[in-house]
Amino acid sequence: DGQPVTFTAVAAHTGLARTTLYRNPPLRAVIDHHRHQATNTGTLTAITDELATLRAAVGAIAARVRRHEEQLRRINTREPT
């Protein structure tokens, strides 16, 4: 809606706590992406910021996949009852 993207604004709009937004890497990455996109579109800084944001998001997804794989390994190694 043309308003600046800030953690405070997103928290107010979604009803989530700011700490939740800061501590959740995928959410933080999305907010950071939109914050920097509005101010730095097309600059080298914007590209660098976007890469950092994407790396954080991919890292968070990779960590979640590793946790799920570990859970599946534990489930598959259990003896049938």
pTM over 0.95? The answer is: no
Question: Contact, 61 vs 26, CB < 8 A?
Answer: yes
How many CB atoms are located within 10 Å of the residue 33 CB? 19
Tens-digit pLDDT profile for residues 36-55: 766 655 677 767 777 887 88
Q: Rg for the chain (alpha carbons), in Å?
A: 18
Residue bearing the bigger pLDDT, 77 or 1:
77
Burial class (CB in 10 A: 0-12, 13-18, 19+), 31: buried
The ranges assigned to domains in the chain are 7-77
Closest CA to 32 of 52, 59, 16, 9: 52
Residue bearing the bigger pLDDT, 51 or 81:
51
pLDDT value, residue 58: 86
pLDDT value, residue 65: 93
Element (H, E) at 35: helix 25-40
Look at residue 28 and tell me whether its pLDDT is greater than 70: yes
